[in-house]
């Protein structure tokens, strides 16, 4: 995506200088302005060019976040929350400059309520660190976007991942947040009750807001019991359509599959080479079941019967932890496997989501598009909820190739919207998806702008993301 240059005058130079001086005075060495650290806080995991902040600050607690917001609000300079930097649509870029708030020091588990299956954490803790902490409680946090993302970042982008088909997304698993808003005061959106009819649902307003309404300072999460048994495996299919239709029937049959991931033939070739696997280089489903030994065995047999009806190879399930971990590590490394197909090329990772009944139609049409335009673009997907990703490889130094890549992304999004889908199932909007959100939401985008103006009248929170003001 070619980012537009920021017009002179949109940066508040005098306010920036004053705010940075106050940050230095208040935070000392915890406020950094070196180019290397600023570049680290604007890196993107896709080809969107980096736009560096003017400085990076490292708060220790919510009171310090209030101080940071107060300084930024007084001098009207942008604030960009930073978790681990694993987002894919330019969420952490600073198009107007400003201050990046690195939340990595706010990484504590504040409370675990095992009897209520919930916990409260600071936003900088990563999902892997949280699950290590929870291990002895018999509980775990199920949302797994692949990257070891921070919980605050996952809440801000409404992340999901491989377990979403069974456990839902972040919007289903966040009970409450605390956040510092434009008034430089921390507010709490809800309590720990599992349901509430008390007023507006402010929790879900902040979940998915991509840091544009305030800075999240804690997240209360719904937890799950660690399953008695986990088993999974791989089965190959003759065509991508057959694999998609097996997914559709599995979901429609009510089989409580925990993960059901789609990989096309190109992705299987890449994953075999990168992860040292030896599966057939044809479309495949990676599947996992959670439950008691009896229920897992039944679910595996039911799925195997459905897969066989669509011409799959024999589905061999395993409950061996080492074998399962190798399988899912390969799936989570899909991005790097795609990159290894052509290391000299850039990669544009994009996603769409459609109703499950249209999944086969959308994926097959996308494959035809890829072939007709001579593209290298492996497909992977959280097929159980109709969400799939395309990793498009292209020369980001060639204007014609950039135009070709962007035209493909436009067609992909138009195709998903025509099927009553969405321009993003889990990546979020950031900068990269802004044109497609307008096409998807229409006049409702004006209502989003009204909410933004009401909560952030000076547009200091992550400006230049989701939509133009």
| pLDDT at residue 280, rounded to an integer | 93
The answer to whether residue 145 is domain-embedded is: yes
Question: Three-class SS of residue 84?
Answer: coil
d(CA 18, CA 13): 9
Altogether, the residues listed in the chain come to a count of 469
The answer to whether residue 114 is domain-embedded is: yes
At 158, which CATH number?
A: 3.30.465.10
Name the H helices within 253-358. Answer: 265-275, 293-309, 321-332, 334-340
Question: Three-class SS of residue 224?
Answer: strand
Same domain for 118 and 46? no
The answer to whether residue 28 is domain-embedded is: yes
Same domain for 193 and 241? no
Residues of the chain with pLDDT under 50: 1-9
Q: Which domain holds residue 241?
A: 229-335
The half-sphere exposure of 74 on its side-chain side, counting CA atoms within 13 A, is 13
The answer to whether residue 6 is domain-embedded is: no
Same domain for 67 and 119? no
Same domain for 368 and 425? yes
At 244, which CATH number?
A: 3.30.70.3450
The answer to whether residue 467 is domain-embedded is: no
The answer to whether residue 468 is domain-embedded is: no
d(CA 469, CA 467): 6
| pLDDT at residue 318, rounded to an integer | 85
Per-residue pLDDT of 258-267, as tens digits, reads 999 999 999 9
Contacts for 284 with CB less than 8 Å, ≥ 6 apart? 234, 235, 236, 237, 243, 262, 263, 268
Domain final residue, candidates 302, 335, 368? 335
At 40, which CATH number?
A: 3.30.43.10
The answer to whether residue 466 is domain-embedded is: no
d(CA 262, CA 259): 10
| pLDDT at residue 8, rounded to an integer | 42
The answer to whether residue 307 is domain-embedded is: yes
Domain final residue, candidates 104, 135, 156? 104
Per-residue pLDDT of 78-106, as tens digits, reads 999 999 999 989 999 999 999 999 999 99
Same domain for 309 and 403? no
Same domain for 58 and 154? no
Same domain for 318 and 346? no
Domain final residue, candidates 104, 133, 156? 104
Same domain for 120 and 211? yes
Same domain for 315 and 348? no
Same domain for 316 and 217? no
Same domain for 364 and 290? no
pTM higher than 0.95 for the full model?
Answer: no
d(CA 157, CA 170): 9
Contacts for 394 with CB less than 8 Å, ≥ 6 apart? 345, 346, 347, 348, 375, 401, 402, 404, 405
Question: How many domains are there within the chain?
Answer: 4
Same domain for 260 and 309? yes
d(CA 159, CA 151): 9
């Amino acid at each position: 995506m070619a980012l537009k240059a920021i017009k002179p005058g949109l940066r508040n130079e005098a306010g920036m200088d004053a705010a940075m001086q106050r940050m230095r005075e208040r935070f000392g060495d915890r406020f950094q302005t070196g180019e290397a650290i600023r570049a680290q806080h604007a890196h993107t995991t896709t080809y969107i060019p980096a736009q560096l902040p003017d400085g990076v600050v490292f708060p220790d607690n919510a009171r310090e976040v209030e101080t940071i917001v107060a300084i930024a609000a007084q001098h009207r300079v942008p604030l960009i929350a930073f978790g681990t930097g694993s987002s894919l649509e330019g969420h952490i870029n600073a198009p107007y400059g400003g201050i990046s708030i690195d939340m990595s020091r706010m990484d504590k588990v504040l409370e675990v309520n095992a009897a209520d299956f919930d916990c409260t954490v600071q936003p900088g803790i990563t999902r892997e660190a949280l699950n290590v902490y929870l291990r002895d409680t018999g509980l775990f946090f199920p949302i797994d976007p692949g990257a070891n993302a921070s919980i605050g970042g996952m809440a801000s982008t409404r992340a999901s991942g491989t377990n979403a088909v069974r456990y839902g997304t972040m919007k289903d698993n966040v009970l409450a947040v605390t956040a510092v808003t434009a008034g430089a005061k921390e507010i709490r959106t809800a309590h720990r009750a599992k349901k509430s009819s008390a007023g507006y649902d402010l929790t879900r307003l902040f979940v998915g807001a991509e840091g544009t309404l305030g800075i999240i300072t804690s997240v209360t999460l719904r937890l799950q019991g660690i399953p008695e048994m986990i088993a999974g495996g791989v089965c190959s299919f003759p065509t991508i359509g057959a694999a998609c239709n097996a997914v559709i029937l599995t979901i429609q049959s009510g089989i409580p599959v925990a993960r059901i991931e789609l990989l096309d033939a190109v992705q299987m070739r890449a994953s075999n080479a990168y992860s040292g696997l030896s599966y057939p280089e044809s479309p495949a489903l990676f599947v996992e079941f959670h439950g008691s030994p009896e229920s897992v065995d039944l679910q595996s047999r039911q799925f195997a019967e459905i897969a066989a009806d669509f011409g799959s190879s024999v589905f061999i399930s395993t409950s061996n932890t080492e074998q399962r971990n190798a399988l899912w590590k390969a799936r989570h490394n899909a991005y790097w496997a795609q990159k290894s197909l052509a290391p000299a090329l850039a990669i544009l990772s994009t996603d769409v989501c459609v109703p499950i009944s249209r999944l086969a139609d959308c994926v097959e049409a996308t494959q035809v598009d890829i072939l007709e335009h001579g593209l290298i673009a492996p497909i992977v997907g959280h097929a159980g909820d109709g969400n799939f990703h395309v990793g498009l490889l292209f020369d980001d130094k060639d204007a014609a190739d950039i135009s070709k890549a962007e035209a493909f992304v436009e067609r992909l999004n138009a195709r998903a919207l025509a099927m009553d889908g969405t321009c993003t199932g889990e990546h979020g909007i950031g900068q990269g998806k802004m044109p497609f959100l307008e096409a998807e939401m229409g006049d409702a985008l004006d209502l989003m702008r009204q909410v933004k103006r009401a909560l952030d009248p000076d547009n200091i929170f992550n400006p230049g993301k989701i939509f133009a003001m």
